[in-house]
Amino acid sequence: MNSTLAILAVLDGISYAALVFLVSVGLSLIFGVLRVVNVAHGSLYAFGAYLAATLSLRVAPVSPWLTYPALLLASIVIGAVCGGVIERFLLRPLYGRDDVLQLLITFAAFMIMDNLQRMIWGVQPIFAADPLKLLPNVTVFGVTYTSYQVILLPAVALATLFGLRYFLRRTLSGAVILAVTEDREAATAIGIDARRVYFVTFIIGASLAALGGALASPTTSLVPGMGADMIVLSFAVAATAGLGQIEGTALTALLIGLTRAFVIYLHPEFEVLVPYLLMVLVLLVRPLGLFGAVQVRKI
């Protein structure tokens, strides 16, 4: 591989990693705080994508620039409504009971949402690329990229990473989440409403999944099954990093994104295999993931 191809692979990898990070970090945040592996996370991603595309197609005739607020609005609506309903009515009755029940209930939510998605948006592919077309293209070594993919997506991922870090380390709400993550009972004993923390955290995690879907929507055709693909991939990233590790998830998303991009250039037939092969290799050596720790629950 020459240096030109290497640079192109890096650009592809960063763009892909940015989207994967947004979805995986939501999954990891929810697990870090609630100790729930949210299988419905993939559906939240798909719902975010479909609602963003629907809103974009509606507002684009008025002004194409309105498609950007539409992407954000779709993320917040899906995160708050779907995330809120899942946490409040499906997960909350199961806290303190067998972990398998939580896994099963989120799997059930995933199945229901998958069918709802087909009922609402049908099975025909939907494409809403207006946000992508608004930003100028960038040409690198004769290859044209949209700045949406190589600048905007990585910028949003970085802003999310540093925003989450700031929120958790520097604000009272973040401190409260960290306290509940570490010890729910001790947190309650100092006046923290752990149930509310779970609710808010789940909505934040769900909104991140929906944001990933919304930002992906201009770059791809929306088809049934996209949620299933994403939950498997984001779980691989989160598990490779160590569930509950935010910074680790960012680095792992980058590692998987770059490895996948290089494999596409060198041996494209192995593309699908890369994230899972990396996960298996890492977990064989470090069962808690690259950045996982036994002692303290982290987010």
Partner 1 sequence: MTPMLRFENVNVAIADAPVLRNVSFSLAPGVSAALVGRNGAGKTTTARTIMGFTKAIGTVRLGGEDLGRVAPHRRPSLGLGYAPEDRRLFSAFSVEENILLPGRVAKLRPEEMRRRLERAYSVLPELKELAKRPAGSVSGGQGKMVALGRALMLGTKLLILDEPFQGLAPVLAQRYAEALRRLRSQDSEITLLITESNPKLLETFVDVTLTIERGEIEDTSSH
Cβ proximity to partner 1: between 51 and 197 the closer is 197
| 36/158 Cα distance (integer angstroms) | 25
Which member of 178, 216, 243, 278 binds partner 1 (CB under 8 A)?
178
Contacts of 150 (CB under 8 A, 6+ apart): 11, 14, 15, 138, 140
Please answer whether residues 18 and 153 qualify as being in contact, where contact means their C-beta atoms are separated by less than 8 angstroms: yes
CB of 189 to partner 1, least distance (A): 5
Q: What is the separation of C-alpha 116 from the centre of its chain, rounded to a whole number of angstroms? A: 20
Q: Is 277 in the site for partner 1 (CB under 8 A)?
A: no
Site string for partner 1, 118-157 (x = CB under 8 A): ----------------------------------------
| 162/176 Cα distance (integer angstroms) | 18
| 176/199 Cα distance (integer angstroms) | 13
Please answer whether residues 241 and 248 qualify as being in contact, where contact means their C-beta atoms are separated by less than 8 angstroms: yes
Please answer whether residues 87 and 204 qualify as being in contact, where contact means their C-beta atoms are separated by less than 8 angstroms: no
Task: Give the residue among 55, 75, 29, 17 at the shortest CA–CA distance from 197.
Answer: 29
CB of 31 to partner 1, least distance (A): 17
Please work out the total of residues on this chain that contact partner 1, with binding judged by CB under 8 A. Answer: 18
CB of 179 to partner 1, least distance (A): 5
**List of E strands, the chain:** 137-140, 143-146
Which member of 61, 100, 185, 268 binds partner 1 (CB under 8 A)?
185
Q: Is 166 in the site for partner 1 (CB under 8 A)?
A: no
Measured at the CA of 289, the angle between CA 285 and CA 290, to 5 degrees, comes to 85
Which member of 176, 215, 216, 255 binds partner 1 (CB under 8 A)?
176
Return the residues of window 193-212 that contact partner 1 according to CB under 8 A: 193-194
Task: Give the residue among 226, 172, 194 at the shortest CA–CA distance from 35.
Answer: 194
Which member of 62, 123, 190, 294 binds partner 1 (CB under 8 A)?
190
Please answer whether residues 15 and 236 qualify as being in contact, where contact means their C-beta atoms are separated by less than 8 angstroms: no
Which range binds partner 1 by CB under 8 A, 62-70, 72-80, 177-185, 240-248?
177-185
* 286 CB neighbour count, 10 Å cutoff: 13
At 68, the amino acid letter reads Y
Return the residues of window 54-113 that contact partner 1 according to CB under 8 A: none
CB of 198 to partner 1, least distance (A): 12
Cβ proximity to partner 1: between 59 and 178 the closer is 178
CB of 52 to partner 1, least distance (A): 34
Q: Is 191 in the site for partner 1 (CB under 8 A)?
A: yes
Cβ proximity to partner 1: between 55 and 178 the closer is 178
Which member of 179, 223, 264, 288 binds partner 1 (CB under 8 A)?
179
Which range binds partner 1 by CB under 8 A, 8-16, 89-97, 122-130, 184-192?
184-192
Report CA Rg, the chain.
19
Q: Is 186 in the site for partner 1 (CB under 8 A)?
A: yes
Residue ranges binding partner 1 (CB under 8 A): 172, 175-176, 178-179, 182-183, 185-194, 296
